Amino acid sequence: MARLLDKINSPDDIKKMNFKQLKQLAGEIRELIITTVSKNGGHLASNLGVIELTLAMHYVFDFKKDRLVWDVGHQCYTHKIITGRKDSFHTLRQYRGISGFPKIEESQYDHLNTGHSSTSISAALGMAVARDINGEDNNILAVCGDGALTAGIALEALNQVGHMKKRVILVLNDNEMSIGKNVGGIAGYLNRIISGQFYIRFNRKMKKMLKGIPGIGDSMVSMARAFEHLLKRMFVPGMLFEELGYKYVGPEDGHNIEGLIKTFEQVKTNVGPILLHVVTKKGKGYKPAEEMNEAFHGASPFDIKTGQFKKSSEPKPPSYTNIFGKTLCEIAEKNPKVVAITAAMREGTGLKEFSEKFQDRFFDVGIAEQHAVMFAGGLALGGMKPVVAIYSTFMQRAFDQLVHDASLMQLPIVFALDRAGLVGADGPTHHGVYDLSFTRMIPHFTIASPRDENELRHLLYTATNYDKPFVIRYPRGNGIGVPIDSPLRNITPGTAEKLKHGEDAVIFALGRMVYPALEVAKELVHEGIKVSVVDLRYLKPLDENLIINELQTSGRVITIEDNVLSGGMGGYITEFISTNIQENIPVLRIGLPDIDIEHGEVSVLDKKYGLDTKSIYNRTKEFIKNTKRRPVLKQNEPSGKVFRIVK
């Protein structure tokens, strides 16, 4: 049978189809998404859940002039396929290919760049206000998941939209799942709405039955009506949203295209805010994803037939995430004060085992990073030792809590920042390349980054014994494969470790850049160049003595970090040198530039941005060739060129 999909070049082609064809098209899109994600990886389960919903919206609205705002944006694959990106869909999430998230730069049909959750309602309201000021009359839709609705920003926006009575359509895509099971009171409320449908159906049937009873039927029906108001408050869908100022519509079956189209046609004519509650199934139409939708939320490549994720033929060292989770369990066995907090990322942050072993010491707060940090603050004030595990990129949300709460009260919270540095296919919204900059300026913060999985264990142990805020940032992916040693030990904050000695220059490297630095140093020996390599370990406090010793030895500095250079580690060391040393020490800072870093494999991005060993080698060699060493004299040497430590 000829594929309908082959004829789809723009959403206009969808509008010509009948319901039967739309259903067939949904099946073909499902197949394309499954095939592509099985090769490239991606957000499979969420995308399979919104195929019919996406087609229905494009059928009814014209997003050349109407606006469609995807929340998180991880569910936009159908949208991409039918808005001119079908032929490039095979490049999904690959370097120079199309992004896994909406991108204004990619298409006139993408209206908001996203990746972080819960921004859709605010954006839609802003667009609605602008529309009204401009005297335009287009429709504005936001598609927000039940998981995304747990975040503060979504609730803040929900509050204002209802209050302003602006004409926006908020499509609540309710699959009862965040990445894992959705948590919290709102999730429970939505669940009751769906179950409330049973009440409505039951109520209709009951009235019909009562009416049929001769003599007393009518009076029993009016009695039932008297209770109805009360019952409505208890069961009728959407009362909460109605109270907030929305017209609630639903719950609608999110896989019935015909029903969805009819509903969208109706709500299109409404003048105020609409909340359309659509019930979908995550992973719809692909059994492994329906059954294991958490694993297929962000899937790595898999075998379509078996649903098994592809494994590399060679055994790999455990991931940093895995080592973090296991070590935290080891620590928590001995320390009953240790509690763990995740913001809707139990599996992603490696806390599954912890959540099972220490059920009453584990907290999933939903997609609520700000709350996670403040909640940890409360726990710390109550005598607990909270460990907040959040991806580096999502911690950006909680900056104020880091400053206003953790820092100002010097609370002993451990911040475990997973996925620090470049993360790969998820791209610019997900790279964790700012955390060194935004944490190092905060007073009272200790900031560490391990060079390998073994150092991560000891730094985590150190952090849980520390009495002030303590950040540990570590990268996505597998460890180095170094031996793991026990028992766990403290690594005194502010102590770096010198791994190699040389007089021509010193390389200060942090975290995952330490091993490449060692490799470069080894290679340079063949050129007759000898450099010291220091695993800085702690960005804050800096190991000032060691830095000064190295400046006295070589007087030429190279810094390497997988953070943006602005405000990063190289900047910190340069500031330290310029503040304390009356000597023009040559410094080469290697790190990420002041631009958005695109998506692509980390190894490809490393190469492009000069973080791979070859680039580091070339730049270091060039730098050493073109600069003069300026060793700092020892303090007691008779020269004006001594360092002064300004305290």
Ligand X SMILES: Cc1ncc(C[n+]2csc(CCOP(=O)(O)OP(=O)(O)O)c2C)c(N)n1
Joined tokens for residue 106: 């990619």
Cβ neighbors of 474 (< 8 A, separation 6 or more) are 320, 324, 416, 417, 418, 420, 449, 450, 456, 511, 512
Neighbours of 81 (CB within 10 A): 25
Q: Which lies closer to ligand X via its Cβ, residue 398 or residue 557? A: 398
Q: Which lies closer to ligand X via its Cβ, residue 42 or residue 49? A: 49
Show the beta-strand stretches assigned E in 50-147. 67-70, 140-145
Q: What is the rounded distance in angstroms from the CA atom of residue 124 to the CA atom of residue 217?
A: 49
* Amino acid (one-letter) located at 417: L
Cβ neighbors of 71 (< 8 A, separation 6 or more) are 114, 117, 118, 119, 120, 121, 142, 143, 144, 145, 148, 154
Q: Which lies closer to ligand X via its Cβ, residue 352 or residue 444? A: 352
Q: What is the rounded distance in angstroms from the CA atom of residue 219 to the CA atom of residue 216?
A: 6
3-class SS at 144? Answer: strand
Catalytic residue among 52, 294, 369, 550: 369
For residue 152, the minimal CB distance to ligand X (Å) is 10
DSSP assignment letter at 489 = -
Joined tokens for residue 67: 């606006």
Residues pairing with 560 in the sheet: 509, 590
Sheet with 385-391, side-by-side order of all strands? 362-364, 338-342, 385-391, 414-418, 470-473, 446-448, 538-540
Q: Which lies closer to ligand X via its Cβ, residue 116 or residue 361? A: 116
Q: What is the rounded distance in angstroms from the CA atom of residue 551 to the CA atom of residue 556?
A: 7
Q: What is the rounded distance in angstroms from the CA atom of residue 608 to the CA atom of residue 613?
A: 12
Q: Is 282 designated active site?
A: yes
Joined tokens for residue 119: 């921004």
Q: Which lies closer to ligand X via its Cβ, residue 282 or residue 361? A: 282
CB 41 within 8 A of CB 300: yes
Q: Is 397 designated active site?
A: yes
Q: What is the rounded distance in angstroms from the CA atom of residue 547 to the CA atom of residue 585?
A: 12
Q: Is 473 designated active site?
A: no
Q: Which lies closer to ligand X via its Cβ, residue 144 or residue 448? A: 144
| Element containing residue 505 per DSSP (H, E) | strand 505-509
For residue 295, the minimal CB distance to ligand X (Å) is 13
Chain residue at closest Cβ approach to ligand X = 145
For residue 108, the minimal CB distance to ligand X (Å) is 24
For residue 261, the minimal CB distance to ligand X (Å) is 21
CB 100 within 8 A of CB 72: no
For residue 429, the minimal CB distance to ligand X (Å) is 8
Joined tokens for residue 400: 């104020």
Joined tokens for residue 634: 């020892």
For residue 419, the minimal CB distance to ligand X (Å) is 10
For residue 19, the minimal CB distance to ligand X (Å) is 24
DSSP assignment letter at 135 = T
Q: Which lies closer to ligand X via its Cβ, residue 368 or residue 506? A: 368
Show the beta-strand stretches assigned E in 159-304. 169-174, 247-253, 274-279
Q: Which lies closer to ligand X via its Cβ, residue 147 or residue 386? A: 147
Q: Which lies closer to ligand X via its Cβ, residue 153 or residue 518? A: 153
Site for ligand X, rule CB under 6 A: 46, 49, 72, 74-75, 116-117, 145-148, 173, 175, 177-179, 282, 343-345, 367, 369, 394, 397
Q: Which lies closer to ligand X via its Cβ, residue 286 or residue 508? A: 286
| Element containing residue 614 per DSSP (H, E) | helix 613-626
Cβ neighbors of 208 (< 8 A, separation 6 or more) are none
Q: What is the rounded distance in angstroms from the CA atom of residue 64 to the CA atom of residue 100?
A: 21
Q: What is the rounded distance in angstroms from the CA atom of residue 279 to the CA atom of residue 550?
A: 62
Catalytic residue among 397, 476, 512, 540: 397
Catalytic residue among 80, 85, 282, 473: 282
For residue 468, the minimal CB distance to ligand X (Å) is 26
Neighbours of 484 (CB within 10 A): 15
Q: What is the rounded distance in angstroms from the CA atom of residue 180 to the CA atom of residue 146?
A: 12
Joined tokens for residue 234: 């208890």
For residue 611, the minimal CB distance to ligand X (Å) is 25
For residue 289, the minimal CB distance to ligand X (Å) is 12
Q: Which residues are catalytic?
A: 282, 369, 397
